[in-house]
Chains A and B, each alone.
Chain A
Amino acid sequence: MPDKPKVAFYWCASCGGCEEAVVDLAEDILKVVEAVDIVLWPVAMDFKKTDVEARSDKSIVAAFINGAIRTSEQEEWVRLLRRKSQVVVSFGACANSGGIPALANQFKKEDILKFVYEDAPGIDNPKKTRPQLESQDEGRTLTLPELRAMVRSLDQVIDVDYYLPGCPPTPKIIMAAVGALLSGKLPTRGAVLSPDVALCEECPRKDSKPADLALTEFKRPHQVQIDPEKCLLAQGLICMGPATRGGCEALCPAGNMACTGCFGPTSRVKDQGAKFVSSVFSNIVSKEEKEIDSVLDGIPDPIGTFYRYGLSKCLLRRKLN
């Protein structure tokens, strides 16, 4: 019997939701397991780093890597997987563009460590102990990976062949990607494996989006009874649809929630947050600076709102501080 293609799954700075997405394939996962040999999947199977190191280079057909790159250990792992794999698929928003972890790029490493180990409510750490790269315990030397000063997307550390967007990617686009890989019908290298159109195109509320949104205020979801039929932007909610790639079939707007942008931008966009500002904010009604400013006050955290899943890929990459 010929060898089945070998596939690896790995996670870096992530929440586990991308692993959950693989399990969400439901019965389809049996087809995947039938077609491939999984040689690494830390969340579900017991393989060690040495098992991967022992493989010959390029012997893994595809590595699906989720999570942002935050520590020295993650850098080491993804470089190892790059060496051993023919194809690397950046899996999910964190790997693609930093995701939620990349919001930490608004803070200095020292401030993060100080808050977490000294100032956070409920912390009991009178000696102000912090993780050390190396420490001694009963004559043994213990080591820990280093926390990097900033959060990176996977392609800021290694070369990436394909991207699966989403927080997490939907079962449908995962299966389409696996199908393309197994059949050898691969798109152009570097492609994002999801339709290259704005989310609004597949939103059930599309027809209620007016040509001019005529925005007079921005509301947060808890401040408004959301109309389940009408365009969310037209209701004054920040919906990232116009600056976000489709492919999720508008799951959130269909569930009466505004899009938060997890599929990242389309191929024509360099910076998702700036593009969102370009497309939506010109639709404020007022022509007066002060009135415009008071409308903008309805968005208390612009960076966290427009770059919720993509601060690593903001053209400025991080806050200067």
Chain B
Amino acid sequence: MNKNSESVPSGKGESLPSRHGGPMPAEPKIVAFFCNWCTYTAADLAGVSRLKYAPNVRVIRVMCSGRVDPQFVLDAFARGADGVLLGGCHPGDCHYAEGNYKTLRRMRMLARMLKDMGIHDGRFRLEWISGAEGDKVKAVVNDMTAKVRALGPLNMPDRFKEWDKEMVHAR
């Protein structure tokens, strides 16, 4: 996506030791906000159905996708997420009637802002996943993990440190 993503070293926590002792390529970290009523239920269903999917998502349960403030997404990136995934009920199915529409409108704007800030659009994704779609959780997580892996680490915390090295007395 950009030259910086290769020139910045990955974080200490990012490289996992392999069985052979050598460093393994960094595993992408994806923060996922799933709504309680649909997408989180779907993730539960995927679990009880024993569907296997990439272990790269850290799921945060929220009552509604409409609870997810765009600040949360920027904060996740700033604290080291390589990708952010948002899951809500299908249009028309929101438990609170309109929450997912509010999310859609906000996130269409946020997606433009992320692009303008040089964050690749593959790193941020909004999906509607109903409580019956355990298989869609699997498909979306696997697909997003593969795409984010291909983009490489974003690693904002190390970038911040790198940027501040130009100051004589970096803080």
A292 engages B105 (CB within 8 Å): yes
What residues of chain A lie closer than 8 Å to B78, measured between beta carbons?
315-316
A320 engages B2 (CB within 8 Å): yes
CA distance A191 to B138 in the complex (A): 47
Q: How extensive is the interface on chain A, given as a class?
A: 35 or more
A282 engages B105 (CB within 8 Å): yes
Quick check: is A21 within 8 A (CB to CB) of the other chain?
no
**Contact code string B66-103 (vs A, CB < 8 Å = 1, else 0):** 10011101110110000000000001000000000111
Going nearest first, the 8 A-B pairs with the smallest beta carbon separation are A320-B118, A282-B102, A274-B70, A315-B74, A315-B78, A274-B71, A319-B118, A284-B105
B66 engages A282 (CB within 8 Å): yes
B109 engages A317 (CB within 8 Å): no
Cross-chain pair count, CB within 8 angstroms: 110
Quick check: is A148 within 8 A (CB to CB) of the other chain?
yes
Residue of A nearest to B102 (CB): A282
A149 engages B163 (CB within 8 Å): yes
Quick check: is A76 within 8 A (CB to CB) of the other chain?
yes
With A149-B166, A278-B71 in contact, is A321–B2 under 8 Å at CB?
yes
CA distance A281 to B107 in the complex (A): 9
**Contact code string B23-36 (vs A, CB < 8 Å = 1, else 0):** 00000000000000
What residues of chain A lie closer than 8 Å to B48, measured between beta carbons?
none
With A275-B69, A303-B117 in contact, is A296–B109 under 8 Å at CB?
yes
CA distance A282 to B103 in the complex (A): 7
CA distance A317 to B78 in the complex (A): 9
CA distance A157 to B164 in the complex (A): 9
With A275-B71, A277-B110, A284-B105 in contact, is A317–B118 under 8 Å at CB?
no
A271 engages B74 (CB within 8 Å): yes
With A287-B91, A289-B104, A317-B160 in contact, is A270–B166 under 8 Å at CB?
no
CA distance A318 to B133 in the complex (A): 38
- Secondary structure at the B interface, as helix, strand, loop or mixed, is helix
Quick check: is A75 within 8 A (CB to CB) of the other chain?
yes
A sample of 7 cross-chain residue pairs with beta-carbon separation below 8 angstroms, ordered by A number, consists of A75-B169, A271-B70, A273-B113, A275-B70, A278-B106, A287-B101, A319-B117
> Apart from A106-B117, A317-B160, A320-B118, what 14 extra A-B contacts exist at CB < 8 Å?
A75-B169, A106-B116, A148-B167, A271-B74, A274-B71, A274-B74, A275-B69, A282-B102, A282-B106, A292-B104, A303-B116, A314-B117, A316-B77, A316-B119
**Residue from B2, B66, B77, B166 having most chain A Cβ neighbours under 10 A:** B166
B116 engages A314 (CB within 8 Å): no
Quick check: is A167 within 8 A (CB to CB) of the other chain?
no
Quick check: is B147 within 8 A (CB to CB) of the other chain?
no
What residues of chain A lie closer than 8 Å to B159, measured between beta carbons?
320
Quick check: is A72 within 8 A (CB to CB) of the other chain?
yes
B108 engages A320 (CB within 8 Å): no
Quick check: is B12 within 8 A (CB to CB) of the other chain?
no
What residues of chain A lie closer than 8 Å to B2, measured between beta carbons?
320-321
A287 engages B104 (CB within 8 Å): yes
B100 to A: closest C-beta gap in Å: 9
**Residue from A283, A316, A321 having most chain B Cβ neighbours under 10 A:** A316
Quick check: is A79 within 8 A (CB to CB) of the other chain?
yes
CA distance A281 to B105 in the complex (A): 6
Quick check: is B18 within 8 A (CB to CB) of the other chain?
no
Quick check: is A309 within 8 A (CB to CB) of the other chain?
no
A316 engages B91 (CB within 8 Å): no
B21 to A: closest C-beta gap in Å: 33
Of A79, A314, A321, the residue contacting B74 (CB under 8 A) is A314
Quick check: is B156 within 8 A (CB to CB) of the other chain?
yes
A306 engages B74 (CB within 8 Å): no
Quick check: is A302 within 8 A (CB to CB) of the other chain?
yes
What residues of chain A lie closer than 8 Å to B102, measured between beta carbons?
282
A281 engages B91 (CB within 8 Å): no
